[in-house]
Structure 1
Amino acid sequence: MRRYGYHQSNFDHTLFLKRKGNLVTCLIIYVDDMIITGNDEEEMKKLKANLFTEFEMKDLGRLKYFLGIEVLRSKQGIFICQKKYVLDLLAETGMIDCKPADNPMMVNHKLCMEENTKLADKERYQRLVGKLIYLSHTRPDIAYAVGVVSQFMHQPQVTHMEAVCRIIRYLKGTVGHGVLFQPNKHLKIQAYTDADWAGDKGDRRSTSGYFTLVGENLVTWRSKKNKK
């Protein structure tokens, strides 16, 4: 990629970029799957031709599915979701017929490590939370709840597993939720942040969160417990 004039992103080493004035071409790769996109049609055709000469490849056309993420296009814009991923998770956990929860976590939950409390299956807990973390790529509505349960990976208790199961029950009622990117006439950047100020019952640390919008479209979000 460097030989073709691309530079590797410092933020994501699987992303390669090439700029020509206002034209940008991007390539992102994961093992043997890749996405090529941008607004430089000529450069994208050239890049594909170069890659085809060096590797045995197949052009699958417009992006529809990538690493469990579904991409749908309509007049309203581009919609990304992980519907199949959620259905597979429900089937794996035996919760395909469970009663949906109204929200991913109880209000004022205050989860913490309790003394003399029964432990949950650590391996299963870590596997489920790992799947939920990946699901958060298209589900900002579960980001906070997943951030909370991920704090107990080292020694999960039964109450923590119950919180994980509630997130999954919430997913049952929101299988098709995702993120919509609508075409707008501007690229105005907006950012919002908040914190619960010493909200952790155990160590009194705060959990902060943020999300950013570009052209009124949600592009990044995160919820994280502060180190101090």
Structure 2
Amino acid sequence: MHSPSVSHRNAVDQILRYLKSAPGKGLTFSKNRDLEVVGYTNADWAGSVTVRRSTSGYFTFVGGFKPEKPMELHCDNKSAIDIAHNPVQHDRTKHVEVDRHFIKEKLEKKISRLLFVKSEDQLTDILTKAVCGRVFYDSLTKLGIGDIYAPT
């Protein structure tokens, strides 16, 4: 974002080509009585082979205000979940100390719940890694992205 390169421009061009080829794609908003917040988060560790930086992504679904139960955060990394629930701060987690304490506080106050999700059900994989077409289109359906021109 701060130092865009040719590869970034190529990625934007690819996104624009996809959007141009799918004019009927859009989000479906439906009315329901659920008052909950559900999130999915994922990251690849140093996934960029050129700069060795990680890519992270998240989706948040908001079903209303004043939730009746704790926010659910779905994560496919059991180690991250264990660290968040661990009452002892280990030396190896110093680089995430501030974030860890913030999350731990929300877990203790029952504002949030950190839940494990199997990789095949992890919606954010389409933001953090290359996935096959089937996984990509399945994820779009789960995210409520439909095509108004698709046959029913």
> The TM-score by the shorter chain falls in which range?
0.3 to 0.5
TM-score scaled by structure 2?
0.36
**Structure with more strand by fraction:** 1
Q: Which has the larger radius of gyration?
A: 1
TM-score scaled by structure 1?
0.25
